[in-house]
Amino acid sequence: MYDMNKQETAVTQKEIKFSARDVQVYYGDAHAIKDVSVELEDKTVTAFIGPSGCGKSSFLRCLNRMNDTIDICRVEGDIKLDGEDIYHKAVDPVQLRARVGMVFQKPNPFPKSIYDNVAYGPRIHGLARTKADLDEIVEKALRRGAIWDEVKDRLSAPGTGLSGGQQQRLCIARAVATEPEVLLMDEPCSALDPIATAQVEELIDELRKSYSLVIVTHSMQQAARVSQKTAFFHLGSLVEYGETAQIFTNPVDERTESYITGRIG
């Protein structure tokens, strides 16, 4: 078996973007994430799957320290982005979040114009020096969000007036406008219809060229369609992590198999 397979792994071997070691998350006394260690690759879509309540979102939110905003939440362990500990005292979570963007489950555009939605991040981070710069950044982000053609004639219209699928793509455009290195998506399609979902999935595949993406999803088909790596969580633990194809066709752990075949979840 010294063959194709091994060579292929060698070719696709990518840099490690995030590496997490023995991560614990507590909400008050509740232990939501237990001993999770994982290494996420750059320019890869990693899917987090598992039954609801198993801690997918909790772990995802550790990666850009959004858990900091929850008073009772406590994170232990060691998470490194490009080798730097993101929970180090000297790290400003705001700077971290500029590098690690996030797209939420429910589309949440600001109640401002489409333009201002996308321009907000670049503005507060000082990415554009002139109005023309900013226009360019906004256009580029909207193109990347695969929504430019639909909104280019009404950039000053409210972002909240778009359809659900458009709003979610606007949120993705907003997230990429700040030029993050990693994009975290927490069930980005759960509020969308199948057509909008397909559009977002296509977009995710496109974004993989430039970013490292982590997507939490309820739908195993979606995970299979868009991701290269899959992590299966169960009751707060990371049960299995590996190539998506392998997880779906040949899972090692029987809990993974049960979940994939629909026996738990």
Give the DSSP H/E element, type plus range, for residue 1: none
Q: Report the distance separating Cα 185 and Cα 66, nearest Å.
A: 13
* Candidate list 44, 46, 57, 244; residue touching Mg ion; CB under 5 A: 57
**Does residue 237 interact with other proteins by CB under 8 A?**
no
Q: Which residues contact 150 (CB under 8 A, 6 or more apart)?
A: 166
**Does residue 53 interact with ligand ADP by CB under 6 A?**
yes
Q: Is the dihedral of CA 98, 48, 212, 188 positive or negative?
A: negative
Q: Report the distance separating Cα 176 and Cα 180, nearest Å.
A: 6
Q: Which window, 54-62, 157-165, 174-182, 228-236, contacts Mg ion (CB under 5 A)? A: 54-62
How many residues belong to the site for ligand ADP (CB under 6 A)? 12
* Candidate list 30, 94, 245, 264; residue touching other proteins; CB under 8 A: 94
Length of the chain: 265
Shortest Å distance, C-beta 164 to ligand ADP? 20
- Give the one entry of other proteins, Mg ion, ligand ADP, none that residue 175 binds, where binding means its C-beta sits below a cut-off of 5 to 8 angstroms depending on kind: other proteins
**Does residue 175 interact with other proteins by CB under 8 A?**
yes
**Does residue 264 interact with ligand ADP by CB under 6 A?**
no
Q: Report the distance separating Cα 186 and Cα 175, nearest Å.
A: 13
Shortest Å distance, C-beta 39 to other proteins? 24
Site string for ligand ADP, 8-27 (x = CB under 6 A): -------------------x
Q: With beta carbons less than 8 A apart as the criterion, state whether 108 and 174 touch.
A: no
**Does residue 217 interact with Mg ion by CB under 5 A?**
no
Q: Which window, 51-59, 65-73, 133-141, 197-205, contacts Mg ion (CB under 5 A)? A: 51-59
Shortest Å distance, C-beta 71 to ligand ADP? 9
Q: Which residues contact 250 (CB under 8 A, 6 or more apart)?
A: none
Buried/exposed 186-219: b ≥16 CB within 10 Å, e otherwise? bbbbebbeeebbebbbebbeebbeebbbbbbbbe
Q: Report the distance separating Cα 128 and Cα 97, nearest Å.
A: 18
Q: Report the distance separating Cα 153 and Cα 219, nearest Å.
A: 34
Shortest Å distance, C-beta 110 to other proteins? 6
Q: Which residues bind ligand ADP (CB under 6 A)?
A: 27, 30, 32, 50, 52-58, 70
Q: Which residues bind other proteins (CB under 8 A)?
A: 64, 66, 69, 71, 94-95, 97-99, 101-104, 106, 108-111, 120-121, 124-125, 158, 160-161, 171, 174-175, 177-178
